[in-house]
Structure 1
């Protein structure tokens, strides 16, 4: 870390809250690389603070990271406007303790991260800080630069927006593993009917190659189209394999080609059927699949 020598207590405070701060930044940005940059900016800001005057160091650090993330969200928004194909959140190989915290796992799932993408930057910050991290309205007010009354209104609007778009129920880890295992069997054996039985009629497939790797240019909608896409693509290529992994708090599949990581596929499940398939192939987004990322609330 840059910024010169720091008293042990200030450094220790930052290190002790690092996983929390990364989680806040990642949930706001959907990008682990940008979240890491925001943590660096937060450290530099924190290194210039008179720490003895800070009553609640956790809230203060969350305030800094939120402000830095809000600024970066606007830059990220401009990058997404010129992004080639669909933009998907950066997948994280997550530690087992994330799955044990049902609320945390739900909040960082690929399905929920895509719902958060539909919020404005301020709505996203307020929702994440209130619903995921349980900050009070005064603390959020200081973080986003709005009055507590305005924050309450934003929180209500964001909750309603998310409720209308999020998966209808929190799917258990066991149910997700079962759906993945059935999906893996069907795709590996070329079982078209078996695959159709797993997919919701209006299932959506999104692929993110970032213009670097081949991926569908726009969303593919409908069970028959998605099934043909999957089976057609896999049967044409030899040397691929699938392995289960814990990604963003939930079971997912890792695709390897010739033994090398090629893609990560996460699922959204509604009413027992796969309603969303999210395939990330952009190599720049797969670096956090090399080792577990620790998240915290």
Structure 2
């Protein structure tokens, strides 16, 4: 169950984690991509809620020769392979990984073929970040015993445009979006493409979208309560932090201010409240003042 869930009796509709599927083990490489010969590290990503054993990683040339490399456990439960020397441009390689799924043989679960391209300068620029138009809409808040809860609120999309020099290395970049210095969302290596689009996340591992923030304003008619209400309405600052795996050249973070709002609720009128007047024809405020004036003149005219 996600994040501990919501305390409730077991239900046939309760949210449960996904089965470990070998086919979801992957290296974040587009088909036919050429990997820069000086790529700092190669990465293998596991099925959601599983972890790659880095000792099960291997790098070989297309003709079967082993390539010397260091092996590490990486972020997002990934396995990281760091070649001991730059790759050879024009050479074909195979990146292999064992499966983290239980009750399976330890033979390679995946074998990804790629070709090394020319070395290119490591990126020093990240790109640009901007805020889209705020939308008042209905959406799902993910997490809890039933996986998601329908709410109404304010959603603000963010737009990211990668720097051209970052594009060849995007498969090896992982991401964090902070709001006011606190982590709001993360995304694994290869989640962002060359156009700045973000791969749809698996909600068991990533309940928040990387480039979207929200505030929950109203709950839809339901007995369920979301685990979080997003970001409070008001002014905030979003910070996008890209990290090129094992690069000694840090990528700059990108910041953008934004505002979330909730529609103002009109208070219900108090029954019978009509200012100073009374229901049924009682004295108005002007009538009271006129009566007091006549009473004062009457007292002054007496001998």
Question: Which band: TM-score by shorter chain?
Answer: under 0.3
In the superposition, the TM-score normalised over structure 2's length comes to 0.23
More strand by share: 2
More RCO (CA 8 Å, sep 6+)? 1
